[in-house]
Chain A
Amino acid sequence: MRRALVGTLLFAILLLAGCGAKPAPTLSVTAEQKGEGMVIHIATTNFQVGPDGHVHVRLNGGDEAMIYANTYTIPKLEPGRYTVDVELSNAKHENLGVKQSLQVEIKPN
């Protein structure tokens, strides 16, 4: 009887803890040419860049850059078409599965 009570209590605590979970974050990314480079605007909901983690950005599947702001400015790029991959990450560098990919054309300036 006592075991059943303890089990029920633990189950109730787990349920209550689950109710307090944060809603899933969302991501909206836009990018445009700026001068000879590119500026990427990162908007999120239920995720604050900095306290909740950071943003991983890759160009054309290359090296990963870590972003700690909602705007990321690359000063100079060769003209051409770029695939920009953006993904939210927690402080432990674990990707949260919230990502967006977009294409940007950098024209000769």
Chain B
Amino acid sequence: MRRALLSLTLVILLVAGGGRWALAHAVTLFGHTQVDAQGQVSVRIVDVYGAALEGQSVTAFATLPSGRSTRPVDLVEGPPGTYRALVAPPPGAVEYDVTIDLKLAGDLHQIILPVKVGESQPEKPIPMSQIDPPQTPWGRILYIGAAAVVLVVATVVALRKKRPAAEGE
């Protein structure tokens, strides 16, 4: 009975830790993206009414098909709502993805743009996908802690079960 209660508590902790900590707030945003032959990325972010989203923190990084990524760079705002930075491709890359991240009110808005090295891309509007809000540091700590407790308890239970069997032999 006690074990069942313990398991239930741990399951609840794990589910809570892995779940959302805030409700995502649906906001429609578009990024007018452009990439030049040198890898300079430019994005003009507008909302559903075409108004520019000014003064935001926008970052971008490149990812190879193997999954290896570069460090995120901060895009600098030029004209209002237009953010630019050189997102250098990983060494040896032929094709790569540029991920543009905008954190807005706790939610993450993202564009993933396939790019070929040395080829420029004309401006095109892309709807930004809104993904789960990033977990808070405390949420992560709770999640990792709960996972560690599960691991330790499961190990202890397994060892206890194994010992009497070994003694009986």
Binding site for B on A (CB under 8 A): 37, 54, 57, 59, 62-66, 68-69, 72-77, 91-93
Contact = CB atoms under 8 A, between A and B. Distances in A.
A63 to B, nearest CB: 4
Contact of A92 (B22, B26, B47, B48): B22
Interface of B: 22-23, 25-28, 47-52, 54-56, 104-106
Nearest to B47: A65
Contact of B104 (A64, A66, A75): A66
Contact of B47 (A37, A66, A77): A66
Contacts of A62: 48
Contact of A93 (B49, B55, B56, B105): B105
Nearest to A68: B55
Contacts of A92: 22, 106
Of the candidates B22, B23, B48, B56, the one having the most CB atoms from chain A within 10 angstroms of its own CB is B48
B25 A73 contact: no
A66 B105 contact: yes
A64 B25 CA distance: 10
Nearest to A57: B49
A63 B56 CA distance: 20
26 contacts: A37-B50, A63-B48, A63-B49, A64-B26, A64-B27, A65-B48, A65-B51, A66-B25, A66-B27, A66-B47, A66-B104, A68-B54, A69-B54, A72-B51, A73-B51, A73-B52, A74-B49, A74-B50, A74-B51, A75-B50, A76-B50, A77-B49, A92-B22, A92-B106, A93-B25, A93-B105
Contacts of B26: 64
Nearest to A65: B47
Given A66-B27, A92-B22, A54 B51 contact: no
